[in-house]
A and B are shown apart, each in its own frame.
Chain A
């Protein structure tokens, strides 16, 4: 399995710009970039009313479950998932090998509009991921800030 590149501030800025632009054009509520393992990478829009960490984990699970169904029925083009709700709907689309773009929008917002504007946003995100990869594909992790002497009791049991 390949891996995503390390993101620096410039990358995160670009991802957030793409999401902001998508929200503005589509009138959607929240947009997230997540990786297919369930991690949240970037988000924009309303984050107070939603638990984005959990949404990222579940959305990636839902998307990957659909991919598995696609494999079982020999379909190669299940590249998005759309869930229509009464108050909110969700649309998730594949960005690249590692990432998904998830959009949460009010039910009255047209899914066609969301899909239309999600496509260029996903492309912009994919391009930035490529740029990050090309920047220094062999770079190691800079974890020098982590103080490992400090990890004796990472998780403590409450008395």
Chain B
């Protein structure tokens, strides 16, 4: 849950990019880091704990400050999880204290089973932290739309966005930075609205 420091009028929020292995989670963070427009000093370093083959081992981390929220200094911490199935314990660790989630699905037909498995795994891991996906703002990003063998968006919606409440979804080509900022802006807006409208105690 977010940290609210009333003394310094500072709000810190944690957003986690979740999804199957090689789906483009780290690429999202790299693109945000490379292209975001910030006031000087408001963009932190992108830290990647990755293997030699660039697969995320623990997490990627990018601290960044939003430019346009008046009243509070709003700091966003963007994390990715390792997508490979064997690193589930690590995914649970990264999810601790999560405020919002961007689920990055791989649009290739042959990856649909992995998408569904990863989404189910997200729900399970949240449960293990006594969290409920229905209460956490999240958006879906259907990535790799530039590949030839992609599934129709309607099919991905049927597989991943077929719950009681449908959430915003975006198509993306993360390595070209298409759809990256759209998803990030939507999730930040959703969770800020949640904080303000809910008014329940989070923590400081």
Contact = CB atoms under 8 A, between A and B. Distances in A.
Interface of A: 1, 3-9, 11-13, 35-41, 51, 53-54, 57-58, 61, 64-65, 68, 98, 132, 137-148, 150-158
Contacts, number: 178
A132 B204 contact: yes
Contact of A36 (B12, B96, B198): B96
Nearest to B199: A140
Contacts of B96: 1, 36-38, 64
A4 B69 contact: no
Interface stretch (B103-111, B113-121, B148-156, B181-189): B181-189
21 contacts: A1-B1, A1-B96, A1-B131, A6-B204, A53-B75, A61-B94, A65-B58, A98-B203, A141-B198, A141-B200, A141-B202, A146-B74, A148-B193, A148-B196, A150-B68, A154-B67, A154-B68, A155-B32, A155-B36, A155-B66, A158-B37
- Most chain A CB atoms below 10 A, which of B67, B198, B204: B204
Contact of A158 (B36, B68, B184): B36
B97 A37 contact: yes
B129 A140 contact: no
Contact of A153 (B12, B68, B97, B129): B68
Given A68-B93, A156-B67, A157-B177, A141 B36 contact: no
A60 to B, nearest CB: 8
B70 interface: yes
Contacts of B195: 141, 143, 146
A64 B36 CA distance: 30
Contact of B97 (A38, A154, A155): A38
A156 B64 CA distance: 12
B44 A51 contact: yes
Interface residues of B, number: 61
5 A-B pairs closest in CB distance: A37-B97, A4-B203, A145-B71, A140-B199, A7-B204
B47 interface: yes
Question: Interface of chain A, helix or strand or loop or mixed?
Answer: loop
Nearest to B131: A1
Given A8-B6, A142-B6, A154 B189 contact: yes
Contacts of A8: 6-7
A54 B44 contact: yes
Contacts of A158: 35-37
A12 B59 CA distance: 29
Contact of A9 (B6, B36, B70, B201): B6
A63 to B, nearest CB: 10
A61 B9 CA distance: 26
Interface string B11-53: 1101000000000000000001001110000001101000000
A122 to B, nearest CB: 18
Interface string B136-180: 000000000000000000000000000000000000000001000
B58 to A, nearest CB: 6
A156 B36 contact: yes
Nearest to B70: A147
Contact of B185 (A54, A137, A155): A155
- Most chain B CB atoms below 10 A, which of A9, A68, A141: A141
